[in-house]
Amino acid sequence: MLDAVRAAIRDVPDFPRPGVVFKDITPILAEPRLFKQVIDALADRWRGERVQKIIGIESRGFVFAAPLAYSLGAGLTIVRKPGKLPWRTIREAYALEYGEAVLELHEDAFQPGERVLVVDDVLATGGTAEAAGRLVERQRAELVGYSFLVNLAFLGGSARLGAAKVHSLLRF
Ligand code: AMP
């Protein structure tokens, strides 16, 4: 089944910039059997870890975070790019290849000690996930781990995620 998921991911060269091979996961979403298998497999890794909240990263992370939260019986919260969240926020800046990016989270997203899982579609250099993890820890919630559909392992992103558990269905 993972072979079918892997085969459905479309490589788009030079998107969004020259030199990047973009992993387009939309064909998985469009195929009900594959989408269900992916969510079931992602959720199975975290059953028994008592995840209380999932945090989805804008924007493709939302697509996996919501069904994962539903499947695990967890709550859902979201981190977004600046200026998108309506309530008071905390923010984390992180370095990109050129310049800087910022993620924001509602300041009351988590209770202290709440067990939180960070979800995104693709782990690349790890900067985005690392920033989301810092937002979780700043609210004194407990970071259970990170869940990805795809780990671009040649970029070494998981090394930036410290001692937390990192799970992905597929490595490239
Ligand atoms: P990074 O901070 O480098 O780990 O980048 C992760 C974020 O960028 C994730 O939200 C991914 O959706 C997106 N991303 C980075 N590189 C790729 C890629 N080659 N294909 C698809 N998405 C990517």
- Is-above-0.95 flag for pTM? yes
pLDDT at 98: 76
Query: Quick check: is 97 catalytic?
Result: yes
Catalytic residue among 80, 97, 130, 137: 97
How much is the pLDDT for 136? 98
Whole-number pLDDT of residue 35: 98
CATH 3.40.50.2020 for domain 49-171, yes or no, is yes
pLDDT at 8: 98
What residues in the chain have per-residue pLDDT under 70?
none
Candidate list 33, 60, 104, 115, residue with the active-site label: 60
Q: What is the pLDDT of residue 1?
A: 78
Give Dmax (Cα) for the chain: 43
* Cα(171) to centroid(ligand 1), Å: 13
61-79 pLDDT tens trace: 999 999 999 999 999 999 9
Provide the residue ranges of all domains of the chain, joining segments of one domain with +. 49-171
Per-residue pLDDT at 64? 98
